[in-house]
Chain A
Amino acid sequence: AQSVTQPDIHITVSEGASLELRCNYSYGATPYLFWYVQSPGQGLQLLLKYFSGDTLVQGIKGFEAEFKRSQSSFNLRKPSVHWSDAAEYFCAVGARGNKLVFGAGTILRVKS
């Protein structure tokens, strides 16, 4: 069965510092991978997706992610974090039947 692991429940970074959020997945075939962000009291917004092709994908708000098949990882990165990036981030893998399997999420705190 498909599964997604986000090892870090909370991460705190200083404003202007770089960010990397980890995501590992388990899926038998070529995965469809997503990163979503959720601000408090809001729904989920798609940051970026990987379906095929270039393993480094660019998303909105200056985020990027790299697909590494050998490590079953799809880590999210941003070179310089802004206070408005504080939110919860979810990695997800697209499973059969157009379903999404989500990780437990990583809460990002940004300190000034």
Chain B
Amino acid sequence: ETGVTQTPRHLVMGMTNKKSLKCEQHLGHNAMYWYKQSAKKPLELMFVYSLEERVENNSVPSRFSPECPNSSHLFLHLHTLQPEDSALYLCASSLLFAGGSYNEQFFGPGTRLTVL
């Protein structure tokens, strides 16, 4: 596997289900991100993990719970979602340099989530 992978690619769940999205990066990066992409809305940054520590949480509802057990893996745990949470969830990773200088993010193919 190369780049950033995400599983599953498609997920249909009921509002009472609990499920998890998985992301894995094979690029040796040290920062990982979750984005939400809804129809007709700009990409929304949900969470940022840098060196496995969550450094950003953009007022995301508590029904979304991220987990970053190591620098290569990122999970998004889902429970009691609402139909408006249906979207494409994208994972990305990047390499952060000392001093915080910027570097590009590499994206996975996304998980298409449908909440019934």
Q: Which residues of A contact B (CB under 8 A)?
A: 32, 34, 36, 41-46, 49, 51, 90, 94, 96-100, 102-105
Contacts and interface: CB of A to CB of B under 8 A. Distances in A.
Interface centre among A34, A100, A104 (most CB of B within 10 A): A100
Contacts of B31: 98
Interface of B: 4, 6, 31, 41-43, 45, 48, 50, 55-56, 90, 92, 94, 96, 100, 102-110, 112
B43 A97 contact: no
Contacts of B50: 98
Interface SS majority for chain A: strand
Contacts of B43: 90, 100, 102
B69 to A, nearest CB: 21
Contact of A98 (B4, B94, B107, B108): B94
